[in-house]
Structure 1
Amino acid sequence: MNTEARPSALIAEDEPVLARTLSRLLAEVWPELRVIAVAEDGLSAIELALEQAPDIMFLDIKMPGKTGLEVAEVVADDWPGDKAEPLFVFVTAYDEFAIAAFEHSAVDYLLKPVTAERLRSSVERLKRRLGERAESPATGEMGALMQKVQTLSASAEEMEEKEAPERIKVIRAGVGNTVRMIPVAEVICFEATEKYVNVVTATGEALVRMSLRELTARIDTSDFKQVHRSVLVNFNCILSATRDEIGHYSLTLRGLQRPIKVSRAFSYLFRPM
C-alpha cells in the first residue's frame, strides 16, 4: 500500500459514461479513496499503473489494446519490487469468466451495471485485504495472481471455442522444410514471442504458431513452472538461480548456453530455504 494515509485507485474503462459512474459510486461508498487516473484502453492502463503505482486497479475485462486480464498480467510481471502490489478488481458484463474463482483471493469482480450495494461489498473486501497486507505482506502473491488470470483467460478462450483442446505429448515444430517432432518432456523452456512460441531443447530451437497460453493449455505442465509472463521453464533443467545487485534472478539451465530472466513476480520461487 502507498505510504499516504488515503489509498489510491486507477480505473481502466473504455466507455467514458461507465468510468464516470464508477468514479461517482466510489466517491459515495469510499470517500477516502483517491482515483488518481482513468485509462481508456489497456495499454494506457499499463503505462499509468506502472507510473502512478495505485493501491487498487479497477479493470474492464474487454478493452481496446489489452484486455483487463492482459493488463493485470503485464502489471503483475513488471511491478517495481520496492512497492506494494496493487489489488485487482475486474469489471465485466459477462459471467462466463469463472467469476467464482475470485471469491477467495485478492482479486474481486463487479458485474455491469455496477451497483452501489455490490460496490460496498467489494470495498469492504478491499479494505480488509489492504489492512492484512500492511501487517503481513504475502510472498509470491503477484506470481499466484498472474497464474490465476492466465488460467482465467484460457478458460474464457476454451468457453468461446465450446470444446476443450486436445492434449498433446509431442510438439510438431516447423524448421524450414522440416517438421521437428519434439516430445514435451525434452523441452527446456517455452518462450512467447509476438505471434509464436519458441520451443527450446538441448538440440536447438523451433517456433510454433500459437500463443503460450494456448500451448500450455494443451500439454502436461506438471514439470513446468512460469518464471516470467512469457517464459515457462522445465524445472528438471534448472541448475542454479543467480541474483543480481537489484534483486533480479537469472536461471542457468541444463542444455542451454544463455541465461533465462526471472520476473519479480516469480522471484519467490528461488529464494533460499
Structure 2
Amino acid sequence: MTKPESQTVPSADTDEPMRTLIVDDEPLAVERMQVICAKLGSLSVVGTANDGEAALRLAKALRPDLVLLDMTMPGMDGLEVARKLAGMAGDDGAGPAVIFVTAHDNFAVEAFDCDAVDYVLKPVAKDRLSRAIDRAVERRGSLREDAGSKWLKELWVPHRSELIRLETSQVGRVDAERDYVRLHVGDRSYLLLQTIAGLEKKLDPAQFIRIHRSTILRRDNIRGLRHDGLGVWSAELENGEALRIGRTYLSKVKAMAGR
C-alpha cells in the first residue's frame, strides 16, 4: 500500500485532476493501473490499497474523487466497499465516484446498482479506461452544479454493459416496478433500482407530479384531464394515452389545473 505525499484537500475546480485511489489485491494489477493512470492527465493517483478495509481507511483519510476498484478480493469484496464508499459524502453530498476494474463480467448489474460510473474489464486498455474517466469527470461537474439545488437534475441508468446519463427533463413518465422504477424517455425505457417514493422526493414538483401510487408524470407531458364518471379521472398524455389518476392524488392533480 502506498502513501500520498500530500493530503491537501482538492479545490472545487473540475479542471483539476481527479484524486484517484487504486484498489486491487494483486500488486501487479495495481502497478499496471498506475502506469495507465500516469498517462491520463485527468487523474492524479493519491494512493493504493490491496484489500477492502485498507481502501476504506484510505478513502476516509484522503477523500479521493475517484476509486478504481477491483471486484473480487479476499474478505470485503468490491461491492461491499462500493456501498460503504457511497456513505462517505463530500462537499457535493456524494461519495467518491467508483469505476469497477475486474476480470469478471458477471457482476455488472450489481455494480450499476451500487451507482458505479462504469465497469471496465481486464486487461484494461488505456482508451477504454479513458472513456470511463470522462464519465466520472462529467458526473463530478454535474454534481457540483447541482450542489446548490435541492432537486435531481440527472439520472445514471444501466443499459447493457454501460451507464447512460439521462437529464430528468428528458423523462416523460415514471412507472413503479417493485423496488425499481421504469423511466420512459421518448419511445425507450430504462430500469433503475430506486423506489418510486424515493425518486419522487428528489424530483422538482414544479416539473413532475405523481398521479398514482405507481406513476409519476412530467407536467408538460399532460395534455389534459378527463372525467370518466363516478369520480374517476384520467390524465391524457401528449401521445394520446390516458392514465387513471389515483384517488389519493386527485386533489393535487386538480390543483395543478386550477380546479
TM-score (norm 1): 0.46
Larger helix share, 1 or 2:
1
Higher relative CO (Cα under 8 Å, sequence separation at least 6) belongs to: 1
Greater gyration radius: 2
